[in-house]
Structure 1
Amino acid sequence: MLTKFATRHFSSTASTAYKVSVLGAAGGIGQPLSLLMKLNHKVTQLSLYDLRLGAGVATDISHIPTNSTVTGFGPEDNGLAKALDGADVVLIPAGVPRKPGMTRDDLFNTNASIVRDLAKAAADHSPNAAILVISNPVNSTVPIVAEVLKAKGVYNPKKLFGVTTLDVLRSSRFLSEVAKTNPVHEIVPVVGGHSGITIVPLISQTNHKNLPKETYDALVHRIQFGGDEVVQAKGGAGSATLSMAQAGARFAGAVLNGLAGEQDIVECSFVDSPLYKSEGVEFFSSKVTLGVDGVKQIHGLGNLTNAEEEMVNTAKETLIKNIEKGVNFVKQNP
């Protein structure tokens, strides 16, 4: 039986007042993500940082009447440290977006430096926070954050997450279009990583196990490369920002629910995982149960079809290279 994602059973034993910091809050993802976090009632302090317009976005969002205070910071006056101080959850959407023809890996050189520097600041000023990495390429940026935290002596694998939730959202939507169903009721685990062929939707674990091969192949391809649709549709003027903001807010909400002691909070995420460590795959996305300490349980993949097994094997090969790229970047650019 498939566990429902982000099921919520409230427990009153843990605090439900949290500080959330968004790093890159004035960007295409950062602004709608900040808005959505302002609407989350567990967030009592919302701290927004960007190189420019952080204070402006904070002022704009602060007018929304939910029970949280919003503060905005820029690089001046030690703003990044102030934004991070005491944070429970740190969201990192900072970086440059994809342009037509670019893969997530093409973003690496620019975004790797940004993520490394933000990870250093988080290690110094919010070492106990759950860190949610949105900046692409996630398969490499999450290992970058891990290496920085290790170097600073504050690495907690239970509190580092690569946000792959957009793949889950797309899977629900695209499958519903094929199956002519309500996407709200389509729950699709997505495992592997967060780019192209590393994205493995487990369609066999839904109610639509017997799709015609041509339909299935087209669906999987659309899920894996759905981001390209947005880049092309925006004519090079942007990438998936609004859907990614919703994905980030959903996952952040699930993390907050876990921290608050709610039970059976399950989402997919790219985490430090034991599933394929023996094969050299240090990070892997699968269903995880979230709790008061971050990751409470990492779930296995369950029964897979031959096609899914093949996709997982292909994903592992690519992930080893992606992860190594992130680790090597920190070694060469500490």
Structure 2
Amino acid sequence: MTKVAVLGAAGQIGSPLSLLLKMSPLVSELSLYDIVHAPGVAIDLNHIDTPSKVSGFLPDNDGLKKALTGAGIVVIPAGIARKPGMTRDDLFKINAGVIRGLVTSIASTCPNAFVLIITNPVNSTLPIAVETLKKHGVYNAAKVFGVTTLDVIRASTFVSQALNLHDPKGLKIPVVGGHSGATILPLFSQSKPAVTLTHEQRDAVTYRVQFGGDEIVQAKAGAGSATTCMAYAGFRFVNSILKATSGEIGIIEETYLYLPGILGGKEIAAELGVDYFAVPVELGRTGAVKAYPIGSLSGYEAKLLKVAVQELKGNVSKGVQFATAL
């Protein structure tokens, strides 16, 4: 049983994510933090008939420290969401500082906790989290992740829709790379079971996986971005960590992380030429226990990989520079 803290719990991702976590039998305590409304969200969730206790905190009276004390997992969806016309660079200017501040508090309050970054742009905010933890001498590569699970969920969902398949969960399609646009690389050639897409279907589904967030931003007409689906994806990843740390074996999830700190990751980073990349990662009691290579690619995927790596290098560099500037 684990205490989970959600930072940004009153937001459009944090609130449904907190609901899903309240429903999990593996969560013994849920701690919610936000700059507004977190105590109200907590009281609301406490009316649900599951055993976990929920507490809500605001910045006043050391609220962040209280929220983090004793946490085994910290999930961070805090920050602003993307609006129509807003680039991920625009997001970075605001959300980079949010992540640095929150992770600084994690470093001093619960340095051994798992840290899961949802706040976009993840390609840059995860390096900020890593460098911040390094600066405070508490970085553990096996416990710090960028959550890219939504890309995996989209791949199986969109392929199922394209092929009129009944159950998207019946497909396992690896998605590697980063977590924005062209850095996202779905590997349809490695689908289990195998799928056959026409070139037109392949191109269309690849685009939807890479730019599915834009689809939602436009449909919501400025009222939000990918929120409920991201909450579901975040819960799936948290649940995988909860199951792995409780002793369940064979749990593998694609996740964006600092490769050189993980068994097998240094070799992958050297081959790709970039230290941060989402790959299949085996989870265990201590966190990430092994990173797996991306495997053989089709010619189409190999071309997309080069584009993804080149773009990721700039994203990573931006995050590292921000975190190490002070």
- TM-score, shorter chain, exceeding 0.5: yes
- Offset of residue 277 of structure 1: 3.7
Note if 1:134 corresponds to 2:127: no
Give the secondary structure class of the aligned counterpart of 2:255.
strand
Q: Partners of 2:318 and 2:62 in 1: how far apart?
A: 31
Out of 202, 205, 222, the position equivalent to 2:190 is: 205
- Offset of residue 102 of structure 1: 2.0
Out of 77, 87, 96, the position equivalent to 1:112 is: 96
Letter in 1 for 2:224: G
Q: Partners of 1:322 and 1:120 in 2: how far apart?
A: 21
Letter in 1 for 2:201: T
1:93-120 C-alpha deviation (Å, 9 max, x unpaired): 0000000122323200000000000000
What is aligned with 1:89? 73
- Offset of residue 282 of structure 1: 1.2
What is aligned with 2:216? 230
Letter in 1 for 2:250: D
Out of 273, 283, 295, the position equivalent to 2:288 is: 295
Q: Partners of 2:146 and 2:112 in 1: how far apart?
A: 17
- Offset of residue 250 of structure 1: 0.4
Out of 12, 22, 26, the position equivalent to 1:38 is: 22
Letter in 1 for 2:235: A
Q: Partners of 2:120 and 2:4 in 1: how far apart?
A: 20
Out of 53, 60, 81, the position equivalent to 1:76 is: 60
Note if 1:67 corresponds to 2:60: no
What is aligned with 2:262? none
Q: Partners of 2:19 and 2:64 in 1: how far apart?
A: 20
Give the secondary structure class of the aligned counterpart of 1:194.
coil
Q: Partners of 1:168 and 1:156 in 2: how far apart?
A: 25
1:77-98 C-alpha deviation (Å, 9 max, x unpaired): 1010010011110000000000
Note if 1:23 corresponds to 2:7: yes
Q: Partners of 2:233 and 2:87 in 1: how far apart?
A: 20
- Offset of residue 209 of structure 1: 4.6
Structure 1: gaps spanning 5 or more residues: 1-16
- C-alpha RMSD over aligned residues: 1.1
The answer to which structure, 1 or 2, has the higher relative contact order (CA under 8 A, 6+ apart) is 1
Structure 2: gaps spanning 5 or more residues: 260-264
Q: Partners of 1:94 and 1:215 in 2: how far apart?
A: 35
Give the secondary structure class of the aligned counterpart of 2:80.
coil
Letter in 2 for 1:318: E
Q: Partners of 1:260 and 1:283 in 2: how far apart?
A: 27
What is aligned with 1:239? 225
What is aligned with 2:179? 194
Note if 1:305 corresponds to 2:298: yes
Q: Partners of 1:25 and 1:19 in 2: how far apart?
A: 15
Note if 1:217 corresponds to 2:203: yes
What is aligned with 1:53? 37
1:129-153 C-alpha deviation (Å, 9 max, x unpaired): 1100000000000000001000000
What is aligned with 1:7? none
The number of equivalent residue pairs is: 317
Match runs of 1:268-287 below 5 Å: 268-273=254-259, 274=265, 275-277=268-270, 280-287=273-280
Closer/same/farther in 2, CA of residues 299 and 119 from structure 1, 3 Å limit:
same
What is the TM-score when the length of structure 2 is the normalising length? 0.95
Match runs of 1:138-157 below 5 Å: 138-157=122-141
Q: Partners of 1:86 and 1:173 in 2: how far apart?
A: 37
- Offset of residue 235 of structure 1: 0.6
1:208-237 C-alpha deviation (Å, 9 max, x unpaired): 453211111111011100011100100111
What is aligned with 1:177? 161
Out of 314, 322, 333, the position equivalent to 2:315 is: 322
Q: Partners of 1:279 and 1:198 in 2: how far apart?
A: 13
- Offset of residue 331 of structure 1: 2.0
Give the secondary structure class of the aligned counterpart of 2:83.
coil
Q: Partners of 2:196 and 2:296 in 1: how far apart?
A: 15
- Offset of residue 278 of structure 1: 5.7
Identical amino acids, percent of aligned pairs: 50
What is aligned with 1:331? 324
Q: Partners of 2:42 and 2:270 in 1: how far apart?
A: 41
- Offset of residue 280 of structure 1: 4.1
